[in-house]
Chain A
Amino acid sequence: MTATKDDFLNNPLGKNTTLEDVLDGFELLDDWEERYAYIIDLGKQLPAFPDEARIEENYVHGCQSQVWLIHHYDDASGRLYLLIDSDAMIVRGLAAIILVALNGKPPRDLLATDIDELFERLDLFRHISPTRGNGLRAMVGKIRDIAAAELADAAD
């Protein structure tokens, strides 16, 4: 299957599940077990990822697990839509958190979002090894590169 425009636009992360939902959700968590159970649950919301998109150009380097990322820029609305996949469940959950913060935004808004601040607020970095943190940054870096490229294209 190839990813259609609808697959991108129907991604619930950032649409049905919002950043506010996640922030509220985290408020209620007491310990690491609940925190990770919640992250794992968020990961289950990632939509199916097309098999043929698992190619080198969509691969996110720098993660311990395999991470894939594709995007669709919607000319009509000027918004950037993302799909992410990983074979590790915690990484899927962290990708879901990135998506609620960044998915479906105009590139300019996306680039203005301080994702580090969000992770600080969620107290995620403290619970994530530096290696895993690097993987997160790699994912965010790739998304920001895509947004910057779309912004440059739009300006042409």
Chain B
Amino acid sequence: MTDLSVVSTTRRPTFDVEAIRRDFPILSQQVNGKPLVYLDNGASAQKPEAVLDAMDRYYREMHANVHRGAHTLGDRATVAFEGSRETVRNFLNAESTREIIWTRGTTEAINLVANGLAPRLKAGDEILVSHMEHHANIVPWQMIAERTGAKVVPIQITPDGELDLESFTSLLNEKTRILAITHVSNVLGTVNPVAALIEQAKALGIITLVDGAQAVPHYQPDVRALGCDFYAFSSHKLFGPTGIGVLYGKAQLLEEMPPYQGGGEMIERVSFERTTWNTLPYKFEAGTPAIAEAVGLGAAIDYLQGLDRQAMETAESALLERANQLVETVPGMEIIGTAKRKVPVMSFKIAGLHPSDIGTLLDQQGIAIRTGHHCAMPLMDFYGVPGTARASFAFYNTLDEVEALFTALQKVQRLFA
């Protein structure tokens, strides 16, 4: 079983990165007098013209509230909105659009699930996460643990930044109720063998959630092949707009879960005696949704599906490989996270330099990276660092940009020497 199956539909015969860059208007600008080199894709990715156009067109031609059905604009908006849900369903290979819930992002998706599963938990139950999780996949579980008396237990990792599979197996027990694990580490770039973990967990009747925020920009997940109960991701990391994300959940579990927020749209009938819930997916979508953003996300996925995904992956691997080769050209530079299977994410430190110093001086040279704890403080503690500098690449980055990063790092290193 593969944990990251890639469906590829070919439009461009080869991967022409210069042509692709022209699809992203923001990339062709100067920052601090230098050509922008955007290497903070792990925090948020840039948007292709297709997404900007789709959202612009939506507001110019079809905006109205959805699911009200009284007039033409409302129908157009609903068709576009629900069309995007179908695009997401297809992207994830989910069985039904009933299983695709719009959220504000990965964080809200995980909070929704944690809240929905809380009634199943009792004192002593265990929720398994890993030591490399983003706070968004730790804190919501801690909050329901607090409420229910359950316990959040971290799976250990190895110094390379891989999941310690022995630790995982040894932690599984009859008290384990939930496995919530990241598909790809936002700090280390590690691709976790989630399919295998899910298989083991399922055998014990454990509910599984995969945080896919960092995986979807690089791979197309197949939720049915993965076998997970929940899969969450954010649009803005997938080249779509901010403010919207997706929770995939198995219909049966979603049916059993209580609603997350109350309000309009999520109800079937309201009276002061008794209120009943709407059907899936609307039961979890209280209030007017982010309609234009849903349309934008649909456009982002359509855009990605038009690329040669296989070639894209190869190009991304080449970026990481080149970066790894160049590490030795910067005295004192050390990579944090050297797992065998990685997406193009490079966390690093340079001896004697604070990550924020590195970030500031790269920015002066037009290079955008992320510095800090990356919302993964337990992982920072594991490596004994206050934070890291992180360059995260996307398919629109070039080998020249990788080299520009290292030329700039050499300059930073000299400045502090």
Residue in B371, B372, B415 whose CB lies within 8 Å of A36 = B415
Distance of B37 from chain A, by nearest CB (Å): 16
- Chain B's nearest CB lies how many Å from the CB of A56? 16
In the complex, are the beta carbons of A64 and B411 less than 8 A apart? no
The answer to whether A90 and B356 touch (CB under 8 A), given A33-B415, A64-B372, A65-B386, is yes
CB <8 Å contact, A91 and B364: no
Mark A64-82 against chain B: 1 for CB-CB distance below 8 A, else 0.
1110000000000000000
Give the residues in chain A near B416, CB-CB below 8 Å. Answer: 40, 89
Which of chain B's residues has its CB closest to A32's CB? Answer: B364
> Residue of B at shortest CB range from A34?
B415
B372, A33: Cβ atoms closer than 8 Å:
no
Within 8 A of B (CB), among A124-152: 127-129, 132
Check B415–A40 contact: CB distance below 8 A.
Answer: yes
- Asked if A37 is at the interface (CB within 8 A of a chain B CB), the reply is yes
Known: A91-B356, A132-B356. 18 other contacts (CB 8 A): A33-B415, A36-B360, A36-B364, A36-B415, A37-B415, A40-B416, A64-B371, A64-B387, A65-B386, A87-B354, A88-B357, A89-B353, A89-B354, A90-B356, A128-B360, A129-B360, A129-B363, A132-B360
Closest chain B residue to A135 by CB distance?
B356
Instruction: Check B271 for interface membership: any CB of A closer than 8 A.
Output: no
Bound CA span A59–B176, Å: 40
Q: How far is the CA of A60 from the CA of B139 in the complex (A)?
A: 25
Contact with A along B370-390 (1 / 0, CB 8 A): 011000000000000011000
Complex interface bits, B348-374 against A, C-beta within 8 A gives 1, otherwise 0? 000001101100110110000001100
Question: Is A36 a contact of B386 with CB atoms below 8 Å?
Answer: no
**Which chain B residues (37-95) contact chain A, with CB distance < 8 Å?**
none
**Do A65 and B354 contact each other (CB < 8 Å), given the known contacts A33-B415, A40-B416, A89-B416?**
yes
For residue B14, CB closer than 8 A to chain A, the reply is no
- The minimal Cβ–Cβ distance linking A26 to chain B, given in whole angstroms, is 16
Q: Is A90 a contact of B32 with CB atoms below 8 Å?
A: no
Is the CB–CB distance between B356 and A64 below 8 Å? Answer: yes
Taking Cβ atoms with an 8 Å cutoff, the residues of B that contact A are 32, 353-354, 356-357, 360-361, 363-364, 371-372, 386-387, 411, 415-416
Closest-CB distance, A135 to chain B (whole angstroms): 9
| Measured CA separation A36–B365 after assembly (Å) | 12
Residue of B nearest to A127 (CB): B364
Chain B nearest Cβ from A46, distance in angstroms: 14
Q: Is A90 a contact partner of B411 (Cβ separation < 8 A)?
A: no
Contacts of A132 in B (CB 8 A): 356, 360
Report B-chain residues with C-beta under 8 Å of the C-beta of A90.
354, 356-357, 360-361
In the complex, what distance in Å separates the CA atom of A104 from the CA atom of B83? 66
A37 to B364, CA, bound (A): 13
Binary contact readout A27-54 vs B (1 if CB under 8 angstroms, 0 otherwise): 0000011001100100000000000000
Residues of B contacting A127 with CB < 8 Å? 364
Q: How far is the CA of A88 from the CA of B415 in the complex (A)?
A: 14
Distance A64 CA – B353 CA, assembled complex (angstroms): 14
Nearest Cβ on chain B to A149's Cβ, whole angstroms: 29
**Complex Cα–Cα for A114 and B416 (A):** 30
> Taking the nearest CB of chain B, how far is it from the CB of A64, in angstroms?
4
Task: Tell me which residues across on chain B come within 8 A of A64, comparing CB atoms.
Answer: 356, 371-372, 387
Q: Which residues of B contact A32 (CB under 8 A)?
A: 32, 364
17 residue pairs A–B, Cβ–Cβ below 8 Å: A32-B32, A36-B360, A36-B361, A36-B415, A40-B415, A64-B387, A65-B356, A65-B386, A87-B354, A87-B386, A89-B357, A90-B354, A90-B356, A90-B361, A127-B364, A129-B360, A129-B363
Given known contacts A64-B356, A64-B372, A89-B353, is B411 in contact with A33 (CB within 8 Å)? Answer: yes
Q: Which residues of A contact B411 (CB under 8 A)?
A: 33
Contacts of A87 in B (CB 8 A): 354, 386
Name B354's contact: one of A37, A88, A128 (CB within 8 Å): A88
Complex Cα distance, B372 from A66, in Å, reads 11
B148 CB to nearest A CB, Å: 31
Complex: A132 Cα to B353 Cα, angstroms: 16
CB B383 to nearest CB in A, in angstroms, measures: 16
Bound Cα distance A128, B359 (Å): 11
Q: Which of A33, A64, A91 has the largest count of B CB atoms less than 10 A from its CB?
A: A64
Instruction: Tell whether, in the assembled complex, residue A66 and residue B386 are in contact, meaning their CB atoms are under 8 Å apart.
Output: yes
Residues of B within 8 A of A37 (CB): 415
A133 CB, min distance to chain B CBs, angstroms: 11
B356 touches A88 (CB 8 A): yes
Residues in B neighbouring A88, C-beta threshold 8 A:
354, 356-357
Distance in Å: Cβ of B161 to nearest Cβ of chain A: 23
A41 to chain B, nearest CB (A): 11
A88-B350 Cα distance, complex, nearest whole Å = 12
C-alpha gap A88/B353 in the complex (Å) = 7
For B357, the chain A residues whose CB sits under 8 A away are 88-90
Which of B32, B356, B411 counts the most A-chain CB atoms under 10 A from its CB?
A: B356
- Across the interface, which residues of B come within 8 angstroms of A66, CB to CB? 386
What's the Cα separation between A129 and B31 when bound, in Å?
12
The 6 closest A-B pairs by CB, nearest first: A88-B354, A64-B356, A32-B364, A88-B356, A65-B356, A90-B357
